[in-house]
Amino acid sequence: MTLCDDDQRNLDMLAAAFGNRDIALIECQVIATGEAVPVICAVNRHPGGRADLVPFAELFRGDQYERFSPRRPDGDGFVSQAELRGELN
């Protein structure tokens, strides 16, 4: 899977929000499970003091390195957990 244009636009928007300090970390509830999780939100400010929170990312709990493996630099699949832990030569 390659990243789409929407992914890049969302990243650019999030970077701008951080640059403008229009960012918030709030606790949200996952609808499907009821779990409370920390969520990074951009703050979309409106005239008159009203603001909308736009959720962008859920922060990871636990060891995020056990959850994800990056794509290999040559594009041929993903790095294994054993390689990430340095267990392979």
pLDDT digits (tens, 9 = 90+) for 7-58: 899 889 899 999 999 999 999 999 999 999 999 999 999 999 899 999 989 9
Q: What is the pLDDT of residue 24?
A: 95
Q: Evaluate the CA torsion angle 37, 63, 41, 56 in order and state its sign.
A: negative
Per residue in 63-76, pLDDT (tens digit) is 877 888 888 888 88
Domain residues of the chain, as ranges?
A: 5-84
Q: Model pTM?
A: 0.68
Q: How many Å apart are CA 65 and CA 68, to the nearest integer?
A: 6
Confidence of residue 89 (pLDDT cuts 50, 70, 90): low
